[in-house]
Amino acid sequence: MAEAYIVAAARTAGGRKGGKLKDWHPVDLGAQVVNALVDRTGVDPALVEDAIWGCVGQAGEQAMNVARNVVMASKLPESVPGTSVDRQCGSSQQAIHFAAQAVMSGAMDVVIAGGVESMTRVPMGLPISLPAKNGFGVYMSPELQKKYPGIQFNQFTGAEMMAKKYGLTKDVLDEFAFKSHQKAIAATQAGAFNSEIVPLEVTTAEGNKEVHKSDEGIRYDASLEAIKGVKLLVEGGALTAASSSQICDGASGVMIVNEKGLKQLGVKPLARIHHMTVVGGDPVIMLEAPIPGTLQALKKAGMKIDDIDLYEVNEAFASVPVAWLQQTGADPEKLNVNGGAIALGHPLGGSGAKLMATLVHALHARGKRYGLQTMCEGGGLANVTIVERL
């Protein structure tokens, strides 16, 4: 079977809710990332055979097949198709898997995979709340309600269940959150994100034009004392807004090719996709699937956790990566080395390719070989991707 290679990986810098990216339509955000991938590889745009794009809030500005709209707003020709993926927070990581599978099968040679989410312009939960409010029903069918009586699937509940199940105290989670900001600050100040970020022109509140190229969510004045002072999300719980991911606007993408695609482009690959896994688990606790997913991926790949040099585990809530560390025995010094979603933001469907861009560039910057990426997803799902730097 053919291999799948990543030849370019890019993302926008994250924007806070109502922040610097608020004036960017999500379709145009995605198109800017696509254009950057084309520019970085020098590919003839007509050689791109598909665009697979992750997005969770597929309503309003992100409706009508956002992937196809991203293609049409970009420098790609109309001959390039596009399809949108919803695997919840793992949507663009799944887009990467689909793209890799396409080129590995030989059905296609050059595919772009990515994702976008403007959580400012399409608020989280809108595809559920808006129809329900207007009398068009809810996703919980009679059979689902019969199987899960009285259950409201809720990520915040799941995050607290994770903390309780794995014995994670508020102090432990607060300390993890503080370190996320500290790592993100250090990475930004060292220019660690420069090679992956696509600069965008934005207008400030004062009406001035500037270039947005740094993640807006990082709190440079964060202190452990201040984080510990944030009120709990639920009484008696362990999590706060400070130990949870930030609402974020952003887009990300990678270009994936096989050997034939490499020859057509004439570029050197950044990484090879070594292994892909997706698993389902308990939809009520919802967020722990990265743990069995990682163990399954390592077993299938014939690897041990210590064979992996860097890990990107999405910081949806601090309880997720902390429990993951506990259960996998992974080295915490290898985890989210440039910070994670607690500091950098979590643009839902755009996070999978965002983490991949960060992981691939971090492997190159640190001269490491293997990287593993995973994230929790609504419905009790998790994608796991292992890549090898080339």
What are the residue numbers of the active site? 89, 346, 376
Cβ contacts of 60 within 8 Å, gap of 6 or more:
121, 122, 126
208: its two tokens: 């001035």
278 phi-psi bin (left φ>0, alpha ψ -120 to 50, beta other): beta
Instruction: Please spell the DSSP secondary structure of 220-289, one letter per residue.
Output: TT--HHHHHTSPBSSTT-S-BGGGBPPBEEEEEEEEEE-HHHHHHHT---SEEEEEEEEEE--TTT-S-T
Dihedral of CA 354/118/202/223: which sign? negative
CB 274 within 8 A of CB 297: no
Using CA atoms in the order 374, 254, 350, 28, what is the torsion angle rounded to 10 degrees?
A: 180
113: its two tokens: 């995979």
Residues written for the chain? 390
CB 33 within 8 A of CB 66: no
